[in-house]
Chains A and B, each alone.
Chain A
Amino acid sequence: MIAEFGHFALLLALTASLVQAFGGLLAGHRMNPRLAGLAGSAADIALIGCLVAFAALMSAYIRSDFSVANVAQNSHTLKPMIYKIAGTWGNHEGSMVLWCLVSALFAWMLARTPGTLRWSLKARAVGVQGLVGAATLAYLIFASNPFARLDPAPLQGADLNPLLQDPALAAHPPFLYLGYVGSSVVFSLAVAALLEGRVDAAWARWVRPWALASWMFLTVGIGLGSYWAYYELGWGGWWFWDPVENASFMPWLLGAALLHSAIVTEKRGALASWTILLAILTFSLALLGTFLVRSGVLTSVHAFALDPERGMWILLILAVFTGGALALYAWRGPSLGSDKGLFAPVSREGALVINNLFLTVATATVLVGTLYPLAGEAIFKQALSVGPPYFNLTFTPLMAIVLVVLPIAPFLAWKRADLMGAMQRLWVAGALAAAACALAIAFAGGKALAAVGFGLGVWLVCGAIAEVADRVKVGQVPAAQSLRRLGTMPRSAWGMALAHMGVGIFTLGAVAETQLRIEHTASVPLGGTTTFAGYTARLENLTSIDGPNYYADRGTVVVTRAGSDEVVTLYPERRFYPAARMPTTEVGLRHELLGDLYVALGDPAEIDGAMQWTLRLYYNPLVSFIFGGVLIMAIGGLVSLTDRRLRIGAPQPARKTAGTAAEPA
């Protein structure tokens, strides 16, 4: 009964979303506030419908109701409770229910937060969001019904793919979806502005928190996925430039560009039509990403069960929304009259334009590399693949340029700036970066890329610190006054400094891990040892253990280091999940600030009459910086979001005077 109730709730939500779309768009067209009220009420109902449907599906998972096909295919009575709950969105249908719920929630927030946005613009945005919601709900109900019944119901379920039974991956989809759907709100606001034919600072002030929140959630989502790949797959890597990874990375990159162009639109009234175009493209890339992941047109190492027919549905939604929005942009964009706010090439605006240009072109190179196998197959009649070498050649240098400019931008004034003055205030950071470069050349064995990378990382971190120091006038005023200034620094300024510092910390980690990783493979008998890079690893013993829904062979690997008393014991496992009939690898891992010891236990084999186990050992330097940096970026976004001037519906701040360099961006 509960499943049928959930199905009904979805239909209710679909109807409500259609009413919301109709009411919101017509309210703007006819200038009728009563229709806007209707759209708001419809958004309430759509949210309630999605909540009920989501709760119904979750209850089916918790009760292990195998008469629901979705539950039977993805759950099992022995599965731990947390993964029963997470299993709700650990599959295609369930994840689409989550998508619809988030979409309805955001539409409701858009409709119900009081604010300074013109009511007609808001009604139109709520209407467009209703259309997006209705499209995904229709796709859910008609192409991937999560509540389909099985008759007769099986006694036991097929279990969730064991690779997904993991805390990081349980949280990964919700964050990604919060990010993707957040970008749909920005898209709705952009389309509403095009319909309205006007873009102003108030509009940009509404766009900024949504763009920021969406980017922040994507950051966390991608970070969790990468972290999962690092410790769960046992390949030692954290980013493979795989199509599925790129699918989430492209909206992130473009979202970062959008975040910065919206600042210029709000503060200076410039770049408005560009901001709108970015908003449309960011959501389009989010949809494209969903299409690539779900349709299986590209070969991915992260591919799960795929369904090309569903891919067609998503492609259709993508075509309608992107095509429609771009056509509207072509029609209305030129009349927006956005090209106000003149600025000199050397200015805060100029720096942000460079940021946008390079981020956009970098996104384009990722897009080309991701889609090239499709085109290549058509041209060369032979399948091909584009891997890390391509991305290292194209994407990395573009981003390096962005990172060089990044710390300078906050020191530039709006409109017209003094580049030499900015550089003078950054000389300490520059000197430290050069020192890091020299040190890296001396110690990293002449690896040019490592040296450049370390220099960049230090430049970013020190640049962010220098910006805060400059803002509180360290050394120019008494220390007590500097401290007081630190206390009253706006949250958005803290957020920016943190996010930029996070980029630097991430860069340090990424460079160290990719350039200086030590890798060693050996096959050892029980009690045997192998040495690598000054470490000695001994396979002490193997024990069989019984997990809640798996069996495992657990190896005890004792690692010692020459010239050190420290003994590290790692427990890599090979698990077998009988319900899903799948083996998985659990790596033995010791996290430390400066580097991780990482061991994966491989297959046993009989070599020269003795059983030997393959051990793959890694020393991964500064891995904690990679994920720490990502986390700090996300925290920066969060801190910025709590700034009262960025809060949705916050009272309009007093008319700001023309920005100065001290003003937070």
Chain B
Amino acid sequence: MGVNDTMRRRDRRLLLIGLVGTLMLGATGIAAVGLRDKAAFFYAPADVAERKPEAGTAARLGGLVAAGTVVRSEGGKIDFVVTDGAADVRVSYRGVLPDLFREGQGVVAEGRFAEDGTFAASTILARHDENYMPKEVADSLKRTGQWKEAPAPTGQDASYGVSIGTASMPAMAGNGR
């Protein structure tokens, strides 16, 4: 069981360094490509108006759901307008909205810009918490002067009633408790 039996220490070290080097280079390369191609930029409606992203660009769009713009149609399709006060972007989505999706509240949509300048969302990001506002949305609202510190709870109640529409919920919510 001498040195001849195993590899010489220096050779082994060289092999290890070679392996680590190749792996690191490969992973860095893939990660760089991945970050260049797959990282989606975050757009506020004002950014969209300014930069006019190409159709097909993957992105996240964040802002407030403009009041009175939510339209539901056949097949679970939902259209609404995201605004930051400076500009508006139409968003179309198919599916079940997250629980805390409300008119007048912050929203982040993930998807692609379409040919006609609207945004086709594949995912509407939910919040788990009433008091939470995505950082990017808060930042862009602050830029456009739409930011209000700690929105009043009564306002939230009102928008809740609006977004659920004519559902049985608000009626139930008012049944005495």
Binding site for B on A (CB under 8 A): 161, 163, 233-235, 296-299, 301-306, 339, 342-345, 353-354, 357-358, 361, 364-365, 368-369, 372-373, 376, 380, 382-387, 389-390, 393-394, 397-398, 415-416, 521-523, 542, 544, 551, 553, 574, 576, 578, 580-585, 600-608, 611-612, 614-616
Contact = CB atoms under 8 A, between A and B. Distances in A.
A553 B125 contact: no
Given A386-B35, A390-B39, A416-B6, 12 more contacts: A299-B134, A301-B125, A376-B35, A386-B40, A389-B34, A394-B27, A583-B100, A583-B169, A603-B72, A603-B97, A606-B165, A607-B74
Given A301-B126, A607-B74, A614 B7 contact: no
B42 A383 contact: yes
Contacts of A304: 128-129, 132
Given A161-B128, A416-B6, A522-B76, A393 B30 contact: yes
B151 to A, nearest CB: 13
B56 to A, nearest CB: 14
A382 B143 CA distance: 13
A416 B3 CA distance: 12
Contacts of B96: 234, 521, 585, 600-603, 614, 616
B135 A299 contact: yes
Contact of A384 (B40, B110, B127, B134): B40
Given A387-B110, A580-B130, A582-B100, A551 B169 contact: yes
B9 A342 contact: yes
B49 interface: no
Nearest to B125: A301
Contact of A383 (B23, B41, B94): B41
B99 interface: yes
Contacts of A302: 128
A523 B78 CA distance: 11
Interface in B137-177: 139, 153, 156-157, 160, 163-169, 172-173, 175, 177
B20 A357 contact: yes
Interface of A (DSSP majority class) = mixed
Given A521-B95, A581-B130, A361 B39 contact: no
A382 B41 contact: yes
Contacts of B130: 161, 580-582
B116 interface: no
Interface in B5-56: 5-7, 9, 12, 15-16, 19-20, 23-24, 27, 30-31, 33-35, 37-42, 47
B166 A303 contact: no
Interface in B68-82: 72-77
Closest 4 CB pairs of A and B: A605-B72, A602-B96, A383-B42, A521-B76
A296 B165 contact: no
B60 interface: yes
Given A416-B5, A582-B100, A365 B31 contact: yes
A372 to B, nearest CB: 6
B35 A606 contact: no
Contacts of A387: 38, 40, 110
A303 B35 contact: no
Interface of B: 3, 5-7, 9, 12, 15-16, 19-20, 23-24, 27, 30-31, 33-35, 37-42, 47, 58, 60, 72-77, 94-100, 108, 110, 123, 125-132, 134-136, 139, 153, 156-157, 160, 163-169, 172-173, 175, 177
A358 B23 contact: yes
18 contacts: A163-B99, A296-B135, A339-B9, A342-B3, A342-B12, A354-B19, A365-B27, A372-B39, A386-B39, A387-B110, A390-B38, A390-B39, A544-B168, A602-B95, A602-B96, A602-B97, A605-B73, A611-B166
B129 A305 contact: yes
Contacts of B23: 357-358, 361
A390 to B, nearest CB: 4
A216 to B, nearest CB: 27
Contacts of B74: 523, 607-608, 612
B57 to A, nearest CB: 12
B3 to A, nearest CB: 8
Contact of A604 (B33, B37, B167): B167
A305 B132 contact: yes
B156 A581 contact: yes
Contacts of A393: 30, 33-34, 38
Contact of B19 (A357, A380, A397): A357
Contacts of B99: 163, 234, 582-585
Given A398-B27, A583-B169, A299 B35 contact: no
Nearest to B13: A339
A353 B19 CA distance: 10
Contacts of A581: 130, 153, 156-157, 160
A415 B2 CA distance: 12
A342 B95 CA distance: 59
Contacts of A600: 96
B39 A376 contact: yes
A299 B47 CA distance: 19
B128 A521 contact: no
Contacts of A394: 27, 30-31, 34
A614 B76 contact: yes
Contacts of B27: 361, 364-365, 394, 398
Contacts of A376: 35, 39
Nearest to A341: B6
A553 B38 contact: no
B35 A372 contact: yes
